[in-house]
């Protein structure tokens, strides 16, 4: 007799007499919640310099240990150790420290500006500066960057005018993007910095496509993209990995694992099962897991991946293991979902402090010069902010003319949009007679 679905009574009887164990669903849960005592002893932190440095053309199938280990250069003695030491000269290290100090000063000022009502939104990168500043310094200035929303340090490192960043955050009349982007979603063709998108992970297939085009044209430029660990759960990230491996695209996929995706901890993106670097291995992509709070390790890993891409040896996935020291954004209050002790107990320290201490340890820096650098950065940001505020802040009416909302899409405005524009302008003139720039 052919198999048939059991009747309702049959199903009930079978369940009652079934001796198989009942199934249960696993729901990831962070180790610490508000008020908990924090203990990060479960995180394996190897000695600095312990990880070997493979050849830049190594077959991905031989890189499992690099996807599950942790590349570190700076030790507890604040000295550089091991084969991953990029051996940067002191002036380059001081430049790196300066960019990180400037990024932190910029974040502090813009955060206060949001709290004062000068802008609607801001996102800090406190504790993650090395993943953008140090890593991007290992790239060529014309390599194409496809960022997420916490890579302001790359623009600062590449010399993008700070006043343009602040104009964009304030969406004022000086904003080159004309108020069409959410604050902090910058764009600069001149600095090879692709437009930031609020749609998570969309930049990853775009980076791969750009890299493929560069290879097709026989160009020498590579692409690098940044994404948070939570966004690796998006389909776009996996599509990017597939195209990158199939076409051997000259691209670097940087995953900043800062442990939290807004209020969801990394376990919901798969951190309990494997490292995020290991995702690259499944696609046959070279993969590295790096101490994201070690500026020298971040530089060295990005340099390794860039050299690999330029040698036509293929793409690389890099996981920067870091910690989001502040809230996800100005709309977030992390005290509602994680212990306040986590920031202080994080075992990999603070990237700015680690680089400062390294320079002091090698006799190329001191606390007095650090204080002077921090003060100079704060004063520069303050001065530039005042200049940008002259172009307007949120709600003060100093924005681009109303008519510009219909511009820059079509070379010639279609008749139906022309009618809508005229109607909108008439209605606005009626509501605000002579009071606004139309």
What string of pLDDT tens digits covers the 438 residues of the chain? 455 555 555 555 446 568 999 999 999 999 999 999 999 999 999 999 999 999 999 999 999 999 999 999 999 999 999 999 999 999 999 999 999 999 999 999 999 999 999 999 999 999 999 999 999 999 999 999 999 999 999 999 999 999 999 999 999 999 999 999 999 999 999 999 999 999 999 999 999 999 999 999 999 999 999 999 999 999 999 999 999 999 999 999 999 999 999 999 999 999 999 999 999 999 999 999 999 999 999 999 999 999 999 999 999 999 999 999 999 999 999 999 999 999 999 999 999 999 999 999 999 999 999 999 999 999 999 999 999 999 999 988 788 887 888 889 899 999 999 999 899 888 888 887 765 565
Residue-level pLDDT at 158: 98
Residue 319 sits in the same domain as residue 417: no
Residue 174 sits in the same domain as residue 298: yes
CA distances (Å), origin 23, targets 20, 26, 411? 9, 10, 60
Residue 250 sits in the same domain as residue 189: yes
Residue 282 sits in the same domain as residue 322: yes
Residue 384 sits in the same domain as residue 409: no
Residue 296 sits in the same domain as residue 411: no
Q: Is residue 31 domain-resident? A: no
- Cα(237)–Cα(352) distance, integer angstroms: 30
CB-based contact 284:245 (threshold 8 Å):
yes
- Cα(155)–Cα(147) distance, integer angstroms: 10
Distance of CA 63 to the CA centre of its chain: 24
Q: Is residue 9 domain-resident? A: no
Q: Is residue 143 domain-resident? A: yes
Kindly state the tokens that stand for 134: 């140090």
Residue 382's contacts (CB-CB under 8 Å, 6 or more residues apart) are 109
3-state secondary structure at position 288: strand
Q: Which residue has the tokens 């306040």?
A: 340
- Cα(261)–Cα(30) distance, integer angstroms: 12
* Strand-by-strand arrangement of the 316-321 sheet: 144-146, 223-228, 251-257, 316-321, 286-291
Residue 6's contacts (CB-CB under 8 Å, 6 or more residues apart) are 14
Residue-level pLDDT at 389: 97
* Phi and psi at residue 347, to the nearest 5°: -75, -15
Residue 350 sits in the same domain as residue 424: no
Count of domains forming the chain: 2
Residue 348 sits in the same domain as residue 414: no
Report the residue count for the chain: 438
Residue 422 sits in the same domain as residue 343: no
- Cα(78)–Cα(362) distance, integer angstroms: 9
Q: Is residue 194 domain-resident? A: yes
Residue-level pLDDT at 28: 96
Full residue range of the structural domain in which residue 289 is found: 60-390
CB-based contact 137:157 (threshold 8 Å):
yes
Residue-level pLDDT at 79: 98
End-to-end CA gap in the chain: 80
Q: Which residue has the tokens 């959410």?
A: 182
Q: Is residue 325 domain-resident? A: yes
Residue 410 sits in the same domain as residue 283: no
Residue 114 sits in the same domain as residue 181: yes
Residue 412 sits in the same domain as residue 338: no
Residue-level pLDDT at 428: 82
């Amino acid at each position: 007799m052919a198999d048939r679905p059991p009747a309702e009574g049959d199903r009930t009887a079978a369940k009652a007499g079934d001796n198989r164990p009942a199934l249960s669903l696993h729901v990831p849960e962070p180790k610490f919640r508000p008020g908990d005592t924090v203990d990060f002893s479960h995180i394996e932190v190897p000695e600095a310099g312990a990880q070997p440095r493979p050849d830049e053309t190594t077959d991905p199938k031989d890189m499992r240990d690099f996807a599950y280990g942790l590349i570190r250069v700076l030790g507890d003695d604040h000295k550089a150790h091991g084969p991953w030491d990029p051996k940067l000269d002191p002036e380059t290290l001081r430049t790196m420290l300066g960019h990180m100090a400037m990024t932190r000063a910029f974040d502090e000022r813009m955060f206060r500006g949001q709290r004062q009502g000068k802008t609607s939104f801001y996102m800090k990168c406190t504790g993650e500066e090395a993943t953008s500043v140090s890593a991007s310094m290992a790239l060529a200035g014309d390599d194409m960057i496809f960022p997420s929303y916490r890579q302001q340090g790359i623009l600062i490192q590449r010399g993008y005018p700070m006043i343009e960043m602040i104009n964009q955050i304030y969406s004022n009349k000086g904003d080159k993007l004309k108020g069409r982007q959410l604050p902090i979603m910058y764009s600069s063709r001149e600095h090879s910095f692709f437009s930031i998108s609020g749609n998570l992970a969309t930049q990853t297939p775009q980076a791969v496509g750009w890299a493929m085009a560069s290879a097709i044209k026989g160009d020498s430029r590579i692409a690098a993209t940044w994404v948070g660990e939570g966004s690796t759960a998006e389909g776009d990230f996996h599509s990017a990995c597939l195209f990158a491996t199939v076409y051997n695209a000259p691209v670097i996929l940087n995953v900043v694992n800062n442990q939290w995706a807004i209020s969801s901890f990394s376990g919901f993106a798969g951190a309990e099962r494997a490292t995020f670097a290991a995702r690259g291995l499944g696609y046959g992509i070279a993969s590295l897991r790096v101490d994201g709070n070690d500026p020298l390790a971040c530089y060295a890993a990005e340099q390794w991946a860039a050299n690999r891409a330029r040698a036509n040896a293929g793409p690389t996935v890099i996981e920067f293991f870091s910690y989001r020291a502040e809230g996800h954004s100005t709309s977030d209050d992390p005290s509602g979902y994680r212990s306040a002790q986590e920031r202080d107990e994080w075992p990999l320290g603070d990237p700015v402090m680690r680089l400062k201490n390294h320079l002091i340890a090698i006799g190329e820096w001191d606390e007095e010069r650090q204080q002077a650098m921090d003060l100079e950065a704060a004063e520069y940001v303050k001065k530039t902010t005042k200049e940008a505020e002259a172009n307007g802040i949120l709600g003060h009416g100093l924005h681009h003319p109303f008519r510009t909302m219909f511009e820059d899409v079509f070379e010639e405005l279609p008749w139906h949009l022309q009618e809508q524009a005229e109607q909108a302008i008439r209605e606005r003139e009626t509501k605000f007679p002579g009071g606004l720039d139309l």
